[in-house]
Amino acid sequence: MRAARTLALLALLPLFAACQMFESEPAKPSLAGLTRMQGELTAVGGKLLFQPCNDKRNYVVNDTGATSVLQEAASLAGQQGALFADLRGKFSGVASGTQGSVDVQQLYRVERATAACDDPDFKRMILRANGHKPTWVMNVTAKGMVLEREGQPPLAVPYVEEQMGDGRFNLMTEANNQHIELWVAPQRCIDSASGSLQHMTAELRVNGQVQRGCASFGGSRDD
């Protein structure tokens, strides 16, 4: 009987191992040696160049992280030429006055509004989400979140964050007799109005009413 029980336990070991492998979350890619920067993308001589905000240096873009930055830039550029990009990669050839290169590993945001380099709120922003029909914007900082909705005054409220695994999380508040939740997931999202690319999807729930949109991290969050 003892031998039979031992064999039964040994037979179950592969099943337990399989469950462990299935349930464990994938390791996050290492950020070692990578730098996050914001700046302008322009196509010059068949190459895509990245110029950081308030910097004269240019970097030839190499899409080593399969981010589709080249295709996204081509589809957004149109007649305007220059785009704003928020990206993370390995920068090299950074001597003043030289043209270096950047191996892009992560793309946070690409949009036509190049004035985003002058956004005074970016550095303190944790997250910004937005959607349409009707238009809404959620700005999140360490002090709280501000919800702006079409036809309504801005609503500033505190919040708590809950991590859901796989990079998903939600921000929630019970304030001013309203139940507000913002659910965020790491999935590429195209803004239906502007065509801009953001690296996360967002779902806003206010008292049970659901609106969907896109989201991206601000300068004070570096996931």
**Pick from 83, 118, 153: which residue ends a domain?**
118
Same domain, 108 and 157: no
The predicted pLDDT at position 96 comes to 59
For residue 43, is it within any domain? yes
Pairing label, strands 160-165, 209-217: unpaired
Output the pLDDT for position 44: 86
Last residue of a domain, one of 80, 98, 118: 118
Residues 90 and 157 in one domain: no
Residue 214 in contact with residue 202, Cβ under 8 Å? yes
Residue type, 5: R
Q: Is residue 44 part of a domain?
A: yes
Residue 14 lies in a domain: no
Predicted local confidence at residue 30, as pLDDT: 62
User: Residue 17 has what pLDDT?
Assistant: 36
Q: Residue 11's pLDDT is what? A: 38
Domain end (from 78, 98, 118): 118
pTM: 0.82
140 and 165 assigned to the same domain: yes
Vertex 154: Cα angle to 150 and 175 (nearest 5): 115
| Per-residue model confidence (pLDDT) at position 205 | 96
Count up the domains in the chain and report the number.
2
134 located within any domain: yes
Buried-exposed string 91-115: b where 16+ CB fall within 10 A, e elsewhere: beeeeeeeeebbbbbbbbbbbbebe
Q: Is residue 30 classed as helix, strand or coil in its secondary structure?
A: coil
Hey, is 80 helix, strand or coil? coil
Residues of the chain with pLDDT under 50: 1-27
**Per-residue model confidence (pLDDT) at position 95:** 62
Q: Does one domain contain both 70 and 99?
A: yes
Q: For the domain that residue 63 is a member of, what is the CATH number? A: 2.40.50
Instruction: Please count the other Cβ atoms lying within 10 Å of the Cβ belonging to residue 223.
Output: 13
Range of the domain at 209: 127-217
